[in-house]
A and B are shown apart, each in its own frame.
Chain A
Amino acid sequence: MPTKSSRAINWFAFAAPSRFYFLSKKCIPIFWFFALSLSIAGLVLGLLFAPTDATQGDSYRIIFIHVPAAWMSMVLYVAMAFWAIIGMIFNARLAYRLSNSIAPTGAIMTFVALWTGSLWGKPTWGTWWVWDARLTSELILLFLYIGYLSLHSAIEDERKANRASSLLAIIGIVNVPIIYFSVKWWNTLHQGASVTLIKTSMDSSMLLAMLIMTFAFWSYTFATVLTRVNHKTLNEESHTDWVNQELNKLRTGS
């Protein structure tokens, strides 16, 4: 039992898989509620009430998905690496598990960002793909995620797989700035096209809708990642009493 000093928060209390599991279990429905309600609010605002753009027409509405997805894809990779580092420092299997659970969602966000970016690019700039620095870096980020997932699935032992792919994530995050700058350099020297975001004065409804969608994506991510962590915990701690009790409850309850 962790000792509770009078003022300090015991951060490590929730490093115990059982405590984390039950806390997550309570939070997941809350995150789903926000994910769904914020998405509906954001989409209603963005699709029904935000005005048509003067230069881009209605294709700009794709940014309500593209921008949140792109942000999530980058933030999630950092989060993945962060939890990998925590896992290594404290040898905490829950941190490794959390890092692992982030990866699939991060990869999906990256793919969505690339897909929507391409569909936004075609009507706006004329081509399905532009080899500019940001898009190319996003593509490389997808490769990094896929590498992580491939390595994890290739190693059979779950513990080893977690630790090996966490190491890969840390190496990846260290390399990301180097990769980004070299791609940027490459782009300027080869005089590739650069996709300039023309900062037309965005109507406030557009900004608000984008912001709401960003929070919606965050909530969705939290709900999904926590669900994944919980599933992994049940799977990997199945030898413990509390998991067996919980599994019984889940089998009979639902």
Chain B
Amino acid sequence: MIWSSFSDFIHMHGYAEYVWGSFGVTFLIFLIEQRNLNVQYKKMIKSEEI
């Protein structure tokens, strides 16, 4: 492991906003995509009248 401490890791040698801004937004977007799929699924399951 190249980082000497956890705070070093978070700090990313000064590039923290860029790196975590990228990873964070990406993760968030994928999360939203899955949540949307889930919400639509629940809606569909509930709505069908047999």
- Do A and B form a real pair? yes
Q: Is the CB of A52 within 8 A of B13?
A: yes
Contact with A along B10-38 (1 / 0, CB 8 A): 00111100110111011001100110010
Q: Which residues of B contact A51 (CB under 8 A)?
A: 2
Q: Is the CB of A108 within 8 A of B19?
A: no
With A59-B19, A62-B19, A120-B22 known as contacts, the answer to whether A238 contacts B48 (CB < 8 A) is yes
User: Among the listed B15, B34, B45, B48, which residue makes an inter-chain contact with A123, where contact means beta carbons less than 8 Å apart?
Assistant: B15
User: Among the listed B2, B34, B44, B45, which residue makes an inter-chain contact with A52, where contact means beta carbons less than 8 Å apart?
Assistant: B2
Shortest CB distance A127–B (Å): 13
Shortest CB distance B1–A (Å): 5
Q: Which residues of B contact A119 (CB under 8 A)?
A: 18, 21-22
Q: Is the CB of B18 within 8 A of A65?
A: no
Interface presence of A66 (CB below 8 A): yes
Q: Is the CB of A65 within 8 A of B34?
A: no
Q: Is the CB of B9 within 8 A of A61?
A: no
Q: Which residues of B contact A224 (CB under 8 A)?
A: 33-34, 37
With A59-B19, A108-B29, A250-B45 known as contacts, the answer to whether A231 contacts B13 (CB < 8 A) is no
Q: Is the CB of A58 within 8 A of B25?
A: no
Q: Which residues of B contact A58 (CB under 8 A)?
A: 12-15, 19
Docked Cα-Cα span, A100 to B21, in Å, equals: 30
Q: Is the CB of B50 within 8 A of A244?
A: yes
Shortest CB distance A47–B (Å): 8
Shortest CB distance A63–B (Å): 10
Q: Is the CB of B19 within 8 A of A69?
A: no
With A69-B26, A224-B37, A244-B50 known as contacts, the answer to whether A251 contacts B2 (CB < 8 A) is no
Contact with B along A49-62 (1 / 0, CB 8 A): 11110000111011
Q: Is the CB of A108 within 8 A of B33?
A: yes
Q: Is the CB of A116 within 8 A of B22?
A: yes
Interface presence of A105 (CB below 8 A): yes
Docked Cα-Cα span, A221 to B47, in Å, equals: 27
Interface presence of A18 (CB below 8 A): no
Contact with B along A151-172 (1 / 0, CB 8 A): 0000000000000000000000
Q: Which residues of A contact B18 (CB under 8 A)?
A: 59, 62, 119-120, 122-123
Q: Is the CB of A115 within 8 A of B13?
A: no
Shortest CB distance B44–A (Å): 6
Query: 9 A–B contact pairs at CB < 8 A?
Result: A49-B1, A58-B19, A65-B23, A111-B29, A116-B25, A227-B37, A228-B37, A231-B44, A247-B50
A-B contact sample (20 more), CB < 8 A, given A120-B22, A247-B45: A48-B2, A51-B2, A58-B12, A61-B19, A65-B23, A66-B22, A69-B26, A104-B33, A111-B29, A112-B26, A115-B22, A115-B25, A119-B21, A120-B18, A123-B18, A220-B30, A227-B37, A228-B37, A231-B44, A248-B50
